[in-house]
Amino acid sequence: MNFLKYQYTPKPGKVQILKLPERHYLTFDGKGESKAPPFQEAIQCLYATAYTLKMGMKFGKLTKPDGYFDYKVPALEGLWWFKKGKFVMGANLKNIFWKLIIMTPAFITKDLVDAAKKQAKEKKQELPIEKVNFETFDAKKVIQTLHIGPYNKEEAAVNLLHEFAKEKGFKIAGRHHEIYMSDPHKTPESKLKTIIRYQAI
């Protein structure tokens, strides 16, 4: 994550305020629990596209755009929400909606993403890579903190953000936003690092 690194550096127990610029993401939308097959497939589709994009430009299989530089593929992020009612930690996740996202550098275009998806699909025909989208997120102000521990134990970090927002006169808006800084397949649950981020208005 060697570009826009400042967006991913909060400390546990501390709240960071950021003004984020316009950003570009690979995205994949779905519904249901994170342990279910659709969620795991979405992760595979995003990473297949992200790495095909990165390596394709680096080794000449995709055209390098103006402003190109080599980069590290950023962390996976997840937006979570319910169609009705507010997001509540510990709620039944069978009816939860999610959007998984991976940021791309500003020089990435939809045409490049489409070309990368086509190449990735040729190698991973069993995956629904065609469902990967390319989206632009508007500039906004956010507050965030770092949670260390299991994903289902984020309540203290969430409460910290709500208390901070109330103290500063902010209103929390948008969806519950998690940024996964650790690989859950290689990291003990007690050491998982997850950034919790909310839009502040």
What CATH number did the domain enclosing 86 receive?
Answer: 3.20.80.10
The residue among 119, 137, 155 that closes a domain is 137
**29: confidence class by pLDDT, cuts 50, 70, 90:** very high
Asked if residue 47 and residue 132 are part of one domain, the reply reads yes
- The structure tokens listed for 56 are 């394709």
Answer left, alpha or beta for residue 156, where phi above 0 means left and psi between -120 and 50 means alpha. alpha
Q: Which of 2-11, 55-64, 91-100, 181-190 is least confident?
A: 2-11
State yes or no: pLDDT of 2 exceeds 60. no
Q: Which of 1-15, 16-30, 111-125 is least confident?
A: 1-15
pLDDT of residue 172: 96
- Side-chain-side CA neighbours of 127 within 13 Å: the count stands at 22
- Side-chain-side CA neighbours of 182 within 13 Å: the count stands at 18
Asked if residue 172 and residue 126 are part of one domain, the reply reads no
Question: How would DSSP label each residue in the chain?
Answer: --SSGGGG---BT--EEEEE--EEEEEEEEES-TTSHHHHHHHHHHHHHHHHHHHHHHTTSSPPPTT--------EEEEEE-SSS---TT--GGG-EEEEEEEE-TT--HHHHHHHHHHHHHH-TTS-GGG-EEEEEPPEEEEEEEEES-GGG-HHHHHHHHHHHHHHT--EEEEEEEEE-S-TTTS-GGG-EEEEEEEE-
Contact 140, 23 (CB under 8 A): no
Contact 130, 48 (CB under 8 A): no
Averaged confidence pLDDT in the chain:
95
Handedness of CA 36, 38, 41, 43 (dihedral sign): negative
pLDDT of residue 3: 62
**For residues 51 and 53, what is the distance between their CA atoms, to the nearest angstrom?**
5
Asked if residue 39 and residue 8 are part of one domain, the reply reads no
The residue among 137, 163, 193 that closes a domain is 137
Asked if residue 149 and residue 117 are part of one domain, the reply reads no
State yes or no: pLDDT of 164 exceeds 90. yes
- The structure tokens listed for 143 are 């507050």
Asked if residue 131 and residue 35 are part of one domain, the reply reads yes
Asked if residue 92 and residue 3 are part of one domain, the reply reads no
**For residues 104 and 72, what is the distance between their CA atoms, to the nearest angstrom?**
10
pLDDT of residue 1: 47
Asked if residue 45 and residue 129 are part of one domain, the reply reads yes
The residue among 86, 118, 137 that closes a domain is 137
**For residues 12 and 35, what is the distance between their CA atoms, to the nearest angstrom?**
26
Asked if residue 84 and residue 163 are part of one domain, the reply reads no
- The structure tokens listed for 89 are 């930690």
In terms of residue numbers, what domain contains 70?
Answer: 24-137
Write out pLDDT tens, residues 39-89.
Answer: 999 999 999 999 999 999 999 999 999 999 999 999 999 999 998 877 777
Asked if residue 119 and residue 50 are part of one domain, the reply reads yes
Asked if residue 60 and residue 42 are part of one domain, the reply reads yes
